[in-house]
């Protein structure tokens, strides 16, 4: 019980004992709730990856590797690869947009900076379906983008923008861009501007100063932002459905259909396991990089 807070020097057994009860009373209900409504459910559904589906849905508790064989069969391997590519493209695009924006926000004077941050966050707090729906309105054949291009005479017939892979990527970037900008901003604003100045004063070009000083020091923020965009993009089934028109099936769509339509829970759970494995792997990489950076080891 050394970790109890009792910095007062007078030893008081009664208080120590009562604080043990207090500790239990404070910790047990909350941690119990997390166990009951997160840990147990997630472990339960992940245990299904080793079992078979019942004839009428449900789960038959007989061991099998079949779900993995099916998950990596050519059909579903293509879905997995496609999902990784689409989520990866969204992440890269979000980083390319997000980095200069986060940098610009970090350079703003205090008052404007707060306003810019609030402006970046507001769309994130608006309903996800509404935000995705907005892109249907923009990208459809009679939508604003096609209309404007027709008016300025760039095109004569409307371009097919909606229900394309590009639309899915744009929808994902739009959905998760704030999650990229915020960690980048946190990382960039901590940067000491004198470091960069020192580099340029010592003769480095601005590009070299960025590549050798700014970029490595903001790498933890870059990785956090990438995880925050990549992970929810990979599991998303709304954007592919609404902006991809069902033509581009991502892992999330398959998991949804296996659980709610095909009722093959073990197979759905196996694909969801892929999501978790990716998540854990990315967090592992991220923590390694930040640790290496904070201990000043080789980079």
Partner 1 sequence: MRSLGWLRLPLALCMLFLYLPIAVLVVMSFNGGRSAFTMDGLSLRWYTKLAGNGDLLTALGNSLLVATGATLIAVVLGTTLAVGLARYTRSSTLDAYAMAPAIMPDLVLAIGLLAFYSLISMTLGLFSVMLAHAVFGMAFVVAVVRARLVQADPALEEASRDLGAGALTTFRRVTLPTIAPAVIAGALLTFTLSLDEFVIAFFTNGPTTPTLPISIYSMVRFGVTPEINALATVLLLVSFTVVIASARLSRRTEALDE
Site for partner 1, residues 32 to 51, rule: CB under 8 A: 33-34, 37-46, 48
Contact pick of 27, 78, 81, 262 for partner 1 (by CB under 8 A): 27
Shortest Å distance, C-beta 66 to partner 1: 19
Separation between Cα atoms, residue 285 and residue 46, nearest integer Å: 23
Stretch that binds partner 1, among 1-9, 65-73, 75-83, 207-215 (CB under 8 A): 1-9
The helix (run of H) or strand (run of E) holding residue 166 is helix 165-189
Contact pick of 92, 186, 204, 275 for partner 1 (by CB under 8 A): 275
Asked if 3 is part of the footprint of partner 1 (rule: CB under 8 A), the reply reads yes
Stretch that binds partner 1, among 63-71, 78-86, 152-160, 227-235 (CB under 8 A): 227-235
Separation between Cα atoms, residue 156 and residue 149, nearest integer Å: 8
Residues ≥6 apart with Cβ < 8 Å to 228: 176, 179, 180, 183
Stretch that binds partner 1, among 64-72, 210-218, 256-264, 284-292 (CB under 8 A): 256-264
Asked if 231 is part of the footprint of partner 1 (rule: CB under 8 A), the reply reads yes
Shortest Å distance, C-beta 102 to partner 1: 10
Which two structure tokens, joined as six digits, stand for 184?
Answer: 């980048």
Asked if 137 is part of the footprint of partner 1 (rule: CB under 8 A), the reply reads yes
Which is closer to partner 1, CB of 74 or CB of 243? 243
Q: Looking only at residues 44 through 103 of this chain, which bind partner 1 when binding is defined by CB under 8 A?
A: 44-46, 48, 58, 97, 100-101, 103
Separation between Cα atoms, residue 226 and residue 87, nearest integer Å: 10
Which two structure tokens, joined as six digits, stand for 7?
Answer: 């910095």
Contact pick of 78, 104, 195, 285 for partner 1 (by CB under 8 A): 104
Which is closer to partner 1, CB of 74 or CB of 185? 185
Which is closer to partner 1, CB of 23 or CB of 70? 23
Q: Which of 197, 298, 251 is nearest to 83 (CA)?
A: 251
Contact pick of 73, 114, 212, 287 for partner 1 (by CB under 8 A): 114
Answer for the pair 191, 210: CB distance below 8 angstroms, yes or no: no
Q: Which of 233, 212, 219 is nearest to 285 (CA)?
A: 219
Q: Looking only at residues 153 through 212 of this chain, which bind partner 1 when binding is defined by CB under 8 A?
A: 174, 177, 181
Residues ≥6 apart with Cβ < 8 Å to 171: 132, 135, 239, 242, 243
Contact pick of 13, 65, 110, 142 for partner 1 (by CB under 8 A): 142
Binding-site size, partner 1 (CB under 8 A): 88
Residues ≥6 apart with Cβ < 8 Å to 99: 184, 222
Contact pick of 69, 108, 277, 285 for partner 1 (by CB under 8 A): 108
Asked if 8 is part of the footprint of partner 1 (rule: CB under 8 A), the reply reads yes
DSSP 8-state secondary structure symbol assigned to residue 39: I
Separation between Cα atoms, residue 188 and residue 210, nearest integer Å: 12
The helix (run of H) or strand (run of E) holding residue 53 is strand 52-53
């Amino acid at each position: 019980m050394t970790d109890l807070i009792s910095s007062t020097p007078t030893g008081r057994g009664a208080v120590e004992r009562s604080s043990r009860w207090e500790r239990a009373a404070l910790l047990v209900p909350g941690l119990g709730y997390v166990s009951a409504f997160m840990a147990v459910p997630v472990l339960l559904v992940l245990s299904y990856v080793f079992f078979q589906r019942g004839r009428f849905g449900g789960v038959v508790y007989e061991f099998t590797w079949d779900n993995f064989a099916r998950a990596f069969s050519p059909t579903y391997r293509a879905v997995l690869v496609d999902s990784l590519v689409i989520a990866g493209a969204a992440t890269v695009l979000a980083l390319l947009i997000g980095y200069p924006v986060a940098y610009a926000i970090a350079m703003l004077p205090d008052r404007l900076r707060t306003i810019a941050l609030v402006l970046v966050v507001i769309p994130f707090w608006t309903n996800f379906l509404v935000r995705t729906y907005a892109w249907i309105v923009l990208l459809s054949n009679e939508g604003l983008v096609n209309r404007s291009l027709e008016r300025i005479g760039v095109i004569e017939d409307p371009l097919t923008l909606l229900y394309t892979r590009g639309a899915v990527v744009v929808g994902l970037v739009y959905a998760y861009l704030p999650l990229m900008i915020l960690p980048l901003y946190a990382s960039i604003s901590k940067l000491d501007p004198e470091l960069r100045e020192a580099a340029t004063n010592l003769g480095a070009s601005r590009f070299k100063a960025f590549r050798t000083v700014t970029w490595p020091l903001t790498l933890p923020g870059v990785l956090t932002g990438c995880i925050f965009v990549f992970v929810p993009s990979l599991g998303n089934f709304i954007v592919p459905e609404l902006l991809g028109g069902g033509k581009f099936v991502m892992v999330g769509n398959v998991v949804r259909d296996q659980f709610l339509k095909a009722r093959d829970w073990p197979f759905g759970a196996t694909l969801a396991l892929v999501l978790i494995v990716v998540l854990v792997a990315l967090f592992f990489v991220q923590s390694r990089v930040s640790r290496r950076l904070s201990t000043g080891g080789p980079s």
